[in-house]
Structure 1
Amino acid sequence: MFRAILPEGQIVCERYGHEDEGLELYDEDDEFIGFVPYANLHALVDEDAYGEDERSIM
């Protein structure tokens, strides 16, 4: 799982695809969740980076 970090919050997705203008996010059923323009994307983090500790990684 991945976590897209945005100015307004976060979106969790199973996979993503790179497009010219941003990322397409998909859930575990391979259904489209949304599109995030690169200009609005602060980071894309693998969920494993969070581990069991909820401290901020930013």
Structure 2
Amino acid sequence: MYRAILPEGQIQCERYDHVDDGVELYDEDDEFIAFVPYANLHALADEGLYEEDERSIM
């Protein structure tokens, strides 16, 4: 699992695809969740980062 970090929150997804203007996020059933423009994307983080240590990664 991944987390797309945005200015207004986070979106969890199973996978993502890079496209020309941003990333497309998909769930575990390979259903499209959201399109996030690169200008609004702060980071894409592997879910394992949150499970290993409770300190902030921001």
Percent identity (aligned):
81
User: Runs of at least 4 residues of structure 1 off by over 3 A?
Assistant: none
Aligned residue type for 1:43? A
Within-5 A mapping of 1:33-44: 33-44=33-44
TM-score w.r.t. the length of structure 1 is 0.93
Structure 2: runs of 5 or more not aligned: none
RMSD over aligned CA atoms reads 0.9
**Matching of residue 9 in structure 1 with residue 9 in structure 2:** yes
Q: TM-score, normalised by structure 2?
A: 0.93
1:7-57 CA distance string (max 9 Å, x none) = 000000000000000000000000000000000000000000111543311
